[in-house]
Structure 1
Amino acid sequence: MLGRSAVVLGGSVAGLCAAGALARHFDEVVVLERDVLPPDAQHRRGVPQSKHPHFMLNSGRRAINELFPGFEDDLIAGGGMLLNPSLDAAYLNEDGWAARKASAMTMIYTSRVLIERVLRDKVRALPNVTIREDVTVQGLDLDQGSVTGVLLQQGSDLQERIAADLVVDALGRGSSVMSWLAEKGWAEPPVKTLDAKVTYISRWYDLPSEEERPESWWWKHIVIMPTLDPSPDKPDEHSYLSNFFPIDGNRAIACMGSWGLDMPRTVEDFTLSAKRLRTPLFAAAMEQSTPTSEVHLTRSTGNVWRRFDKVNGPAGLVFVGDSICAFNPFYAQGMSSASMSAVLLKQSLEKVPTLDRGFAQRFTKDQVALLKVPWTMAMARDQGYECGEGTETVSRWRQRLSTYAGGKAFQLITSAAREDDVIDEHFAKVFNLDESLGDMFRSPRVLYGLARQVVRSRLGRTTIPYGFDPMQDPPADDYTPKAAS
């Protein structure tokens, strides 16, 4: 063991994963959570984003499974669905519906509340981990440049101190840890920011039973990409990124979001906006399902990276999840980045014989390479919007380049992936944070495949059709090549 006690601030996905990483190396691990945690898969005050869709990327699945063996099986047993998005989703891009075809990418579809419930069950099964609920963390105790404990209060009790050999900040975007350190004279880190003014709205539905669904419902998931049409007369809804997203319990979340636009807040306006999307399928799916919630709206979506690697912080303190790097939630990177950071923490602890004063700083610097991959992907899209604000805004010509990269280039990649297994494999790795965009575009084979796709498209020689009429049902034909007999 590397120490007697470790304390995790926050009991959400990042904090629970951190607890799994610490449990092997400390006699006792204490997770401090402000909320009273529900015993089942239910919403709670501290995770308002649980009311919106959450993608479980492959990298996140592997990371959590490494920390908690059997997690993926338990998630599926609880109602999660392992699907192949390019085969099981109706995908509407700029040109129309895409053709169905199996690909290298798989994904588990489920609700955020089920993910957290399964994780809590896994953490509670660890004999040396305790989750303390309804706790307010009030500060850190420092001695000679090291964090030695956490100050907290529970209910009306007097302030309490818990000794700690290592503290993990997993308090999310609103973490007060930096302000506590600044009050004690520690230098604040430089912060990278980019807020592209993303707002998204969601409403929950019970789906009709399998027997009651229309025959045309081959799909499990509907995705409507925003159009790049610059016409000022187009409806705002044509600029929405929309998902009819399946989750556990034969339910779905209808979600619409945009960059820099006002979004509907009432049920009536939500329904009208769905009818103005580029296809009638989305509104029809809502109409044939049973609503079970009001409209939930989120605007706290800016990208924020607190560069703790640029300053010398106190020993015994590390950061994971949104407390160090928060992403635009549209890109589904948060849970995976947090769990991957927890795996890095586990690996870093396995390499040291003792918990020396430099451990936290070394871990924070090592974490940069991990966070740079999702950060670069988020910037590639969000830097394309004039409404963006923050340190990472770019000139107008670079905005136009980002708009192209986030739109036309993305469309080229996805269409080429349906024709080219090599590009399909690279795209799946990039989407799942297993490879950077830069690494993908440095591959001569990928560049050749993209160029070939452009030529074939212009000559009408692609093998898989695309651009099916969005006003019609998406085609059910499966264009996956049949294995040779």
Structure 2
Amino acid sequence: MITEGRLGARAVIVGAGIAGLAAAASVASFFETVEVFDKDELPDTARPRKGVPQDLQVHILLKGGELALESLLPGTRAALLAAGAVEVRQTGDVSLWERDAWHPARDLGYSQLMMSRPAFEQVLRRQVLKLGNVAIRDRTTVDLLPSDADLTVVATGRGDRLLANFDVPETKLGIEVSYSSARFTKPDRFRGEGRFIGCIPQPPDDRYGLVCPIENDEWLITLCSRFDNRVPDDIDGFRAYAAALPAPDIADRLREAVPLTPVRSYRIGEARWRHFERAVGLPSRVLPIGDCISSFNPTFGQGMSVAAGHAVALRNVLANWSGSLDGVAAAYLPLAAEVSRQAWSLAAMVDLEYPRTEGERPANFDKFVAGSEAMRRAAMLHPEVQRLRFEIGNLVKPDSAARSGPAARLVAREMARAGGRSRER
């Protein structure tokens, strides 16, 4: 028997990663019971698990993702901080070298929470279980879509097989990104430092480095490359690779840092966006979420936050729903696609600046690159543009916000200046 105000008796979530946990939070108010299944044994502590092969790499929760999770699970921010998440102020605790210069140090009025992926998952599992009507069942493989659920959400990641047999249009990019990470104890002179450091040279230079402060006053350090270039997986080679970056800050921290784990390497050949909103013949009560829909270049740190955005879209659809659930997919999938679109646009346009990236470049690609570069230069000069650039990149505001308002006029002015300099040459 369904309680008044509920949409169904039972919802099933397949996958207990960030996307699955966010999905459970999004549907819990609308069903009598929610069951989350995962093939892994889920640890009681913050430790890696087999089903998340990248969980030893840096994972960044964008500000938009944090806000989305807080709206789904009030108290999550406080729970993350209590579990040791490091609060990084933008940009007081950030050193970011991008293309040819350090970002200005200004108070943008935002902060981000940083910790390891296993710790993120542990906190979210606890938050979801507090809802009362959610059960998480680990060590349970789901090979077929359930036939006895009122709603099923597929959160099985980029390797999803449950929806693989459906004809779904796709956009793909051959990005050939590889990256290596290790966890470190900080040397004494950096104890207590909560600084996030990024070094992102200008394409076609394909090197990239991140220092992420995490729980226990430790670092996760990730070094990245593309195509034939590879980051060494021995500690001496790892340090040497960092020393070759154009900014010295990462190498300086690595020099005396003591590794707590081996250097773990990972490779992603493709970025993939499955356009379920355009597919025909999908089951009407089966919904994909997270990496099942869109899996990006992971070095942009968008995956967890996009999954949370999908979950908010699903929650909002259900909150305004009545009657049969057969139309829910048609209402949800376009909203999820829009969340993916903004993140895809931000990441893919950078990926496509590398000549060896395989994929169709839009007709206005050169104009987009020029506009993006004008916004970067304007952000160096103007705090309001720097703030807006952070908000769009962190999925706090839609990218359409860059096309109107005072910040947009400053970007347009910078584009005009760049055009004048180009004509002079």
2:72 and 2:345 map into 1 onto residues whose CA distance is: 26
Equivalent residue, structure 2, for 1:247: 214
Q: Is residue 446 of structure 1 aligned with residue 407 of structure 2? A: yes
Checking the alignment, whether the CA contact within 8 Å between 1:202 and 1:295 is kept in structure 2 is: yes
Equivalent residue, structure 1, for 2:34: 29
Counterpart pick for 2:377 among 383, 397, 412: 412
Equivalent residue, structure 2, for 1:176: 161
Kindly report which structure 2 residues correspond to 1:189-338, keeping only aligned pairs within 5 A, or say none: 189-209=168-188, 212-213=189-190, 220-228=195-203, 239-263=206-230, 264-300=232-268, 302-312=270-280, 313-338=282-307
Distance 1:354 1:195, change over 3 A: same
Kindly report which structure 2 residues correspond to 1:33-432, keeping only aligned pairs within 5 A, or say none: 33-141=38-146, 149=147, 163-179=148-164, 182=165, 187-209=166-188, 212-213=189-190, 220-228=195-203, 239-263=206-230, 264-300=232-268, 302-312=270-280, 313-390=282-359, 393-394=360-361, 408-409=373-374, 411-416=376-381, 419-421=382-384, 423-432=385-394
Distance 1:446 1:81, change over 3 A: same
Checking the alignment, whether the CA contact within 8 Å between 2:277 and 2:330 is kept in structure 1 is: yes
Checking the alignment, whether the CA contact within 8 Å between 2:15 and 2:37 is kept in structure 1 is: yes
**Equivalent residue of 2:110, what SS?**
coil
**Equivalent residue of 2:142, what SS?**
strand
Distance 1:272 1:399, change over 3 A: farther
Give the TM-score, by structure 1 length.
0.79
Give the TM-score, by structure 2 length.
0.89
**One-letter amino acid matched to 2:138:** E
For residue 347 of structure 1, report the CA deviation from its aligned partner.
1.4
Distance 1:103 1:377, change over 3 A: same
For residue 452 of structure 1, report the CA deviation from its aligned partner.
5.5
For residue 400 of structure 1, report the CA deviation from its aligned partner.
5.7
For residue 453 of structure 1, report the CA deviation from its aligned partner.
6.0
**One-letter amino acid matched to 1:420:** P
Distance 1:98 1:192, change over 3 A: closer
Distance 1:173 1:454, change over 3 A: closer
For residue 370 of structure 1, report the CA deviation from its aligned partner.
2.3
For residue 112 of structure 1, report the CA deviation from its aligned partner.
1.2
Checking the alignment, whether the CA contact within 8 Å between 2:175 and 2:268 is kept in structure 1 is: no
Distance 1:384 1:97, change over 3 A: closer
**Equivalent residue of 2:143, what SS?**
strand
**Equivalent residue of 2:84, what SS?**
coil
Q: Any gaps of 5 or more consecutive residues in structure 2?
A: 1-5, 419-425
2:262 and 2:374 map into 1 onto residues whose CA distance is: 36
For residue 16 of structure 1, report the CA deviation from its aligned partner.
0.5
**One-letter amino acid matched to 1:165:** D
For residue 398 of structure 1, report the CA deviation from its aligned partner.
6.3
For residue 223 of structure 1, report the CA deviation from its aligned partner.
1.4
The superposition leaves residues 151-191 of structure 1 with CA deviations (integer Å, 9 ceiling, x where unpaired) of: xxxxxxxxxxxx21110000001111123xx3xxxx50111
2:12 and 2:249 map into 1 onto residues whose CA distance is: 48
Aligned residue pair count:
411
Checking the alignment, whether the CA contact within 8 Å between 1:104 and 1:424 is kept in structure 2 is: no
Moved more, 447-456 or 335-344: 447-456
Counterpart pick for 2:396 among 434, 451, 454: 434
**Equivalent residue of 2:29, what SS?**
coil
Q: Is residue 3 of structure 1 aligned with residue 47 of structure 2? A: no
Checking the alignment, whether the CA contact within 8 Å between 2:108 and 2:383 is kept in structure 1 is: no
Equivalent residue, structure 2, for 1:15: 20
The superposition leaves residues 53-74 of structure 1 with CA deviations (integer Å, 9 ceiling, x where unpaired) of: 1111121111111111100001
Larger Rg: 1
**One-letter amino acid matched to 1:436:** P
**One-letter amino acid matched to 2:234:** T
**One-letter amino acid matched to 2:277:** D
Q: Any gaps of 5 or more consecutive residues in structure 1?
A: 142-148, 150-162, 231-237, 458-485
Checking the alignment, whether the CA contact within 8 Å between 2:87 and 2:111 is kept in structure 1 is: yes
Moved more, 330-339 or 445-454: 445-454
2:68 and 2:393 map into 1 onto residues whose CA distance is: 15
For residue 44 of structure 1, report the CA deviation from its aligned partner.
0.7
CA RMSD of aligned residues (A): 2.5
